[in-house]
Amino acid sequence: AQKVTQAQTEISVVEKEDVTLDCVYETRDTTYYLFWYKQPPSGELVFLIRRNSFDEQNEISGRYSWNFQKSTSSFNFTITASQVVDSAVYFCALSEENYGGSQGNLIFGKGTKLSVKP
């Protein structure tokens, strides 16, 4: 079955702390995609990163980094030196692709609410 688990419901840190958001997924497919989206208090869903199942390279973008490990079915997200503007709900999502890209709906985790205090 397809499933995304974000075990951390809420995390609170003080500014400049590093924080890691956990994501564990389940899928039957060998080809799939993993995503992180950010939902700030204003409510929109902002795309952060996409990873395909064949690319286990870790990625760093500024203060953000992602660690993808197929062996543990995890796709964790780390924010280094957190800032107040990072306060948001973060969603991990899974997409199982068919050839032709005609499907690919997202299966979301429940989200992790991150609060960064000054």
Partner 1 sequence: DSGVTQTPKHLITATGQRVTLRCSPRSGDLSVYWYQQSLDQGLQFLIHYYNGEERAKGNILERFSAQQFPDLHSELNLSSLELGDSALYFCASRGTGGADTQYFGPGTRLTVL
Binding site for partner 1 (CB under 8 A): 33, 35, 37, 43-47, 50, 52, 91, 95, 97, 99-111
Query: Shortest gap between Cβ of 3 and partner 1 (angstroms)?
Result: 12
Give 2 or 65: the residue with its C-beta nearer to partner 1. 2
Give 92 or 116: the residue with its C-beta nearer to partner 1. 92
Q: How far apart are CA 12 and CA 38, in angstroms?
A: 16
Phi, psi angle pair for 81, to nearest 5°: 50, 60
Of 98, 77, 87, 80, the residue nearest 4 (C-alpha): 77
Query: Shortest gap between Cβ of 59 and partner 1 (angstroms)?
Result: 14
Query: Shortest gap between Cβ of 12 and partner 1 (angstroms)?
Result: 20
112-117 and 106-108 strand pairing: unpaired
Query: Shortest gap between Cβ of 43 and partner 1 (angstroms)?
Result: 6
Q: Which residues is 6 bridged to in the sheet?
A: none
Q: How far apart are CA 48 and CA 8, in angstroms?
A: 19
Give 37 or 79: the residue with its C-beta nearer to partner 1. 37
Give 34 or 82: the residue with its C-beta nearer to partner 1. 34
Q: How far apart are CA 2 and CA 96, in angstroms?
A: 9
